[in-house]
Amino acid sequence: MLPSLTQTTTSGSTISTGLIGRRGNDLNIATVTGPAIAALGTAGPPSTEKKDIAFIDSGNDDLRTYRVALSTKILASTEWENPSDGTRIEMHLTDVTILTNQSGSWVAVKDSASANYAHTTTATKGMFVKGDGHLFSFFDGASNEIQAYREGADLDPAMSNGNTYEDAFGSDTHTMTGTWPTAAYLGAYVNSRLAWSTGSVLIEYTPMAHTDKSGVWDLLGSEAGAFHASGNIRCIVPFSPHLSNANEEVIFVGTNEGWEITSGFLSYDRLVRMQGARPPLNHKAYCTTLNWLVYLTDNKGIFAINARTNIDLGRRFQKADGTGFLDDMLISSSESDAFGFYNSRKKQAQFWFTTSASALNDRCAVLDFRRGEPLAGESKRSYERRVSCFPWKIKDGTTNDWFSTVYQTQNGPIGALNTGILYTLESGDNDLGSTIAIESDGSTMWFTGGDQAVALLKQWADPNLRIVPASGTTLTVEIFEDWSATASATLTKLLTTATVGDIVKFYTDFQGRTESIQVKFSNSILSQTYIISHLVIPYDIPGAEIKA
């Protein structure tokens, strides 16, 4: 289906000088690509004998836009629910401040003294962590302390020795103890403890919340301590894989040496070092599904791990000759900017990454688990028949930056540009201000009639298609031969005579003799939505029996 959003604009208060927006124009929205034919191939699993990726979707993402005043960069975003009354607000952690929309427009949050809050030092990476009824902000930069928020216009005092920590439930207050960190950009709330790291080999953690005369505020408490990893820490992920023990939270610690999995931080907790799992790329290029922690690796791959095993999910995004979708990743930029997001409604793990020094997250590798996630121990040939790959691209990636983060709200996911423009996804529209049509196309894998290493000519008959139109659709079908980038045959089919929801059956007038064949589908006019439910390409090998 075509991607959908709505468009409005709202101005925020200016925090720094300069225009809000991108390249001098705060309404110069990028033309991006999205899941234009999300149902392509759902009638049957894609072949695992692939020359290229299963599907290619390209086109525009449309949007609901807000303009957020900021200096340079959004590091992390979240929706926060007030623990006392359930109201929801959105917050952005930027390189210079923390923004909130609780007043109806985007402004800097106030510090505990009711003045506009600003970081002590400009930050380059950070994250939000929810726990103990608080929203904690972790970010790097010398002298930058962990910030805490509960409700209202002001932050609570920073997490520092001697400051006051107020319970989110009730009115009790506590005096913070111990030496608290600065520049801690990795954080987690695990087993009712607050934990953090500055990217060294060390994770520090607090006592459990609301223990006798102690809590997350008490670094001098007897249950506070430190965990030493085997390498420099890149991410800390609390997770309960459903196919393991969904009632037991375990801690996945990603380092430059690989992964360590522990059930906790105490002496009796189990510690496993996962052999064979590649190190994660950075602190945010991961997401969790029901059963797997899926992440970008530091060698341009996508792996998934749980408490039992690890699997390679990115193989189909790569090629042996280094020209695959993920192979184009620029590690030097993606180490700081790449991120992951799990769309729970679509059951998709989405990974944005950068391919050029002049771009920002211009590509997104999508793994679709709608037909079921892999099972532990399942063969690659088996689960790849269910897990589809969608490579998305922004149009003119060296000119148009894409999202710096995507975050979940009660009403759906929102994508944020570094320049402060927010995109509300899944909202029902499919244009950019009714002026830019969605350019969507989808290609099948290359059909080789078997093992692609066997170079046999096939006599291809006419491809037969079944289409379910969701609107008046003009469908263009192109045929490509022997991995050529130029179509050898083209058919345009007008589907307006069909009732929406009916199945339209037709075939392309094509017969050729090649080693391989690929079919590409595209629409050409705004709002043309359709589902390809069936595609059959009969062929025979000269001198052999006819196959289908």
Confidence class for position 7, pLDDT limits 50, 70, 90: very low
Confidence class for position 344, pLDDT limits 50, 70, 90: very high
Residue 518 has pLDDT above 90, yes or no: no
Q: Among the listed ranges 8-12, 143-147, 512-516, which one has the minimum average pLDDT value? A: 8-12
Q: What is the pLDDT of residues 161-177, one digit of tens each?
A: 999 999 998 889 999 99
The C-alpha atoms of residue 173 and residue 148 are separated, in whole angstroms, by 14
Mean pLDDT over 338-342 rounds to 98
What percent of the chain clears pLDDT 70, i.e. is strictly above it? 75
pLDDT at 129: 98
**The token pair that represents 136 in the structure block:** 């904690």
pLDDT at 428: 56
Exposure of 101 in the CB half-sphere (CA atoms within 13 A): 22
pLDDT at 385: 85
pLDDT at 164: 98
The C-alpha atoms of residue 474 and residue 478 are separated, in whole angstroms, by 13
- The CA distances from residue 409 to 9, 71, 91, 196, in Å, are 18, 24, 11, 25
113: left (phi over 0), alpha (psi -120 to 50) or beta: alpha
pLDDT at 499: 56
The secondary structure of 73-132 as a DSSP string is: -EEEEEEEE-TTT--EEEEEEESS-EEE-TTSS-EEPB-TTSSBP--SS--S-EEEEEET
Average pLDDT, the chain: 79
pLDDT at 149: 97
pLDDT at 18: 21
pLDDT at 119: 97
pLDDT at 440: 64
Mean pLDDT over 443-468 rounds to 73
Residue 286 has pLDDT above 90, yes or no: yes
The C-alpha atoms of residue 419 and residue 24 are separated, in whole angstroms, by 10
pLDDT at 65: 41
pLDDT at 246: 59
Confidence class for position 142, pLDDT limits 50, 70, 90: very high
Q: Among the listed ranges 325-334, 363-372, 452-461, which one has the minimum average pLDDT value? A: 452-461
Q: What is the pLDDT of residues 456-488, one digit of tens each?
A: 788 887 777 777 776 666 778 888 888 888 888
3-class SS of residue 294: strand
Q: Among the listed ranges 21-35, 300-314, 347-361, 391-405, which one has the minimum average pLDDT value? A: 21-35
Q: What is the pLDDT of residues 65-84, one digit of tens each?
A: 444 544 568 999 999 999 88
The C-alpha atoms of residue 347 and residue 287 are separated, in whole angstroms, by 11
Predicted structure pTM score = 0.79
Residue 105 has pLDDT above 50, yes or no: yes
Strand 250-255, strand 258-262: pairing: antiparallel
pLDDT top residue among 373 and 242: 373
Residue 56 has pLDDT above 60, yes or no: no
Residue 55 has pLDDT above 50, yes or no: no
The C-alpha atoms of residue 35 and residue 39 are separated, in whole angstroms, by 9
Q: Which domains, from first to last, does the chain contain?
A: 1-68+317-445 (no CATH), 74-123+126-283 (2.120.10), 449-547 (no CATH)
Mean pLDDT over 114-138 rounds to 97
Q: Which of 223-227, 415-419, 426-430, 540-544 tops mean pLDDT?
A: 223-227
On the 0-12 / 13-18 / 19+ scale of CB atoms within 10 A, 509 is exposed
The C-alpha atoms of residue 98 and residue 92 are separated, in whole angstroms, by 6
pLDDT at 502: 62
The secondary structure of 35-84 as a DSSP string is: -TTTTTTTTSPPPS--SS-S---B------EEE---SS-EEEEEEEE-TT
